[in-house]
């Protein structure tokens, strides 16, 4: 899903600070504060967060990108075939020491897809986190080194934490504890509702993977004003009665390095988010 410009929030840099590095650090502190504050004051809504190192990335699951299904039913069929393959795989059973689900109706389904997702197998899940700082971390680090995506803008996407009964085509679930990384990252999964309803555009089409989510539920102008007030030290105004389902904080490319430094000083780094040897390897790579 390409996020429309109207859902994107910009935090301006302070032009009175002449030192570029200091200006970047102040911006980083401002956006961290704004994200934490905004996520706490939105009425009747809680959010999960997803960091995109490239603001142009779509909100699409890895299975959707791999298979390009025409509708939600086809996406479910692709997942069903994947589960059948996994359930018959001896090596999977031996390595993870449990019987994987062969369908969505099995009690081990969530654990199965969580393990697959954590090991890079395409699934219909989308990774997210309950911690906005973790979301910002993934918006400012590259794929292979810390700085290999510093030439493009990033974004932190807010996605409303909706349940399967909230008349929207998605739901948010806490990731099963299949690894220490789940706890460290406060990991959650965003998923289409298993039966394809409620809320899909029609019985046969899904416009943006499983995201047929209203971006205009709530006044973004009021939210922009609230953020401006917060950043200037004024806390006047009230949030709208309805919080938007999607918001995105824009992360300018020239500020990514400063963000990484600030986050590291707050204990958010590869070493803390990827416990064990993976975090050690990423730390050596500068991630």
Nearest C-alpha neighbor of 164 from the set 116, 117, 197, 205: 197
Beta-bridge partner residues of 187: 129
- Which of helix, strand or coil describes residue 80? helix
Go through 252-262 and write b for each residue having 16 or more CB atoms within 10 A of its CB, e for each that does not: bbebbbbbbeb
Task: Give φ, ψ of 243 to 5 degrees.
Answer: -80, 145
Give the start-to-end residue ranges of the domains of the chain.
5-57+128-156+213-284, 62-124
Nearest C-alpha neighbor of 180 from the set 277, 68, 66: 277
Rounded distance between C-alpha atoms, residue 240 and residue 81, angstroms: 44
Query: How confident is the model over 105-137, as pLDDT tens digits?
Result: 777 777 788 888 877 888 888 889 999 999 999
Beta-bridge partner residues of 191: 171
Q: Please, which pLDDT band fits residue 51 given cuts at 50, 70 and 90? A: very high
Question: What pLDDT, on a 0 to 100 scale, did the predictor assign at position 285?
Answer: 63
The listed range with the strongest mean pLDDT (5-9, 96-100, 197-201, 269-273) is 269-273
Question: What pLDDT, on a 0 to 100 scale, did the predictor assign at position 6?
Answer: 67
> What six digits make up the tokens of 4?
């429309």
Question: What pLDDT, on a 0 to 100 scale, did the predictor assign at position 134?
Answer: 94
59 has a pLDDT exceeding 90: no
Residue 260, CB-side half-sphere exposure with 13 Å CA sphere? 21
Can you point out the beta strands (E) in the chain?
A: 8-9, 47-52, 126-129, 154-160, 170-174, 187-192, 246-251
Q: Scan for tokens 């205009």, then name that residue.
A: 216
Question: What pLDDT, on a 0 to 100 scale, did the predictor assign at position 211?
Answer: 47
165-189 mean pLDDT: 75
Question: What pLDDT, on a 0 to 100 scale, did the predictor assign at position 197?
Answer: 45
Q: Please, which pLDDT band fits residue 205 given cuts at 50, 70 and 90? A: very low
Question: What pLDDT, on a 0 to 100 scale, did the predictor assign at position 200?
Answer: 36
Question: What pLDDT, on a 0 to 100 scale, did the predictor assign at position 69?
Answer: 77
Question: What pLDDT, on a 0 to 100 scale, did the predictor assign at position 3?
Answer: 65
* C-beta contacts of 55-59 below 8 A and 24+ residues apart: 55/152, 55/153, 55/154, 55/155, 55/248, 55/250, 55/251, 56/2, 56/152, 58/1, 58/2, 58/208, 58/209, 59/1, 59/3, 59/126, 59/157, 59/159, 59/208, 59/209, 59/211
Query: How confident is the model over 228-272, as pLDDT tens digits?
Result: 888 888 777 777 777 777 788 889 999 999 898 889 888 998 888
CA 231 to chain centre: 24
Q: Please, which pLDDT band fits residue 76 given cuts at 50, 70 and 90? A: confident
Coarse DSSP helix, strand, coil percentages of the chain, rounded to the nearest 5 percent:
40, 15, 45
The answer for 30, left when phi > 0, alpha when psi is -120 to 50, beta otherwise, is alpha
Q: Report yes or no: 115 and 89 within 8 Å, Cβ to Cβ.
A: no
Q: Please, which pLDDT band fits residue 152 given cuts at 50, 70 and 90? A: very high
Q: How many CB atoms lie within 10 A of CB 208?
A: 15
Mean pLDDT of all residues in the chain? 78
Q: How many CB atoms lie within 10 A of CB 233?
A: 6
**Percent share of the chain, pLDDT over 70:** 80
1 has a pLDDT exceeding 80: no
The listed range with the strongest mean pLDDT (85-89, 138-142, 179-183) is 138-142
């Amino acid at each position: 899903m390409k996020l429309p410009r109207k859902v994107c929030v910009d935090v301006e840099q302070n032009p009175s600070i002449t030192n570029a590095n200091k200006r970047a650090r102040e911006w980083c502190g401002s956006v961290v504060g704004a994200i934490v504050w905004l996520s706490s004051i939105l009425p009747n809504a809680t959010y999960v967060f997803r960091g995109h190192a490239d603001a142009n990335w779509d909100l699409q699951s890895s299975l959707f990108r791999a298979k390009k299904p025409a509708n939600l039913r086809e996406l479910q069929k692709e997942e069903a075939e994947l589960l059948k393959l996994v359930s018959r795989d001896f090596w999977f059973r031996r390595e993870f020491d449990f019987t994987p689900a062969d369908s969505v109706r099995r009690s081990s389904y969530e654990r199965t897809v969580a393990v697959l997702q954590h090991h890079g197998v395409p699934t219909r899940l989308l990774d997210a986190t309950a911690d906005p700082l973790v979301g910002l971390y993934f918006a400012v680090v590259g794929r292979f080194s810390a700085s290999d995506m510093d030439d493009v803008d990033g974004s932190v996407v807010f996605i409303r934490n909706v349940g399967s009964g909230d008349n929207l085509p998605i739901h948010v679930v806490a990731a099963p504890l299949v690894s220490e990384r789940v706890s460290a990252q406060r990991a959650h999964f965003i998923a289409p509702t298993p039966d394809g309803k409620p809320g899909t555009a029609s019985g046969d089409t899904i416009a943006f993977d499983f995201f047929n989510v209203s971006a205009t539920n709530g006044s973004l102008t009021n939210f922009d004003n609230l953020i401006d007030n917060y950043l200037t030290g004024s806390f006047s105004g009230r949030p709208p009665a309805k919080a938007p389902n999607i918001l995105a904080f824009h992360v300018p490319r020239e500020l990514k390095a400063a963000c990484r430094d600030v986050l590291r000083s707050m204990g958010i780094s590869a070493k803390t988010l990827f416990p064990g040897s993976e975090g050690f390897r990423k730390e050596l790579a500068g991630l």
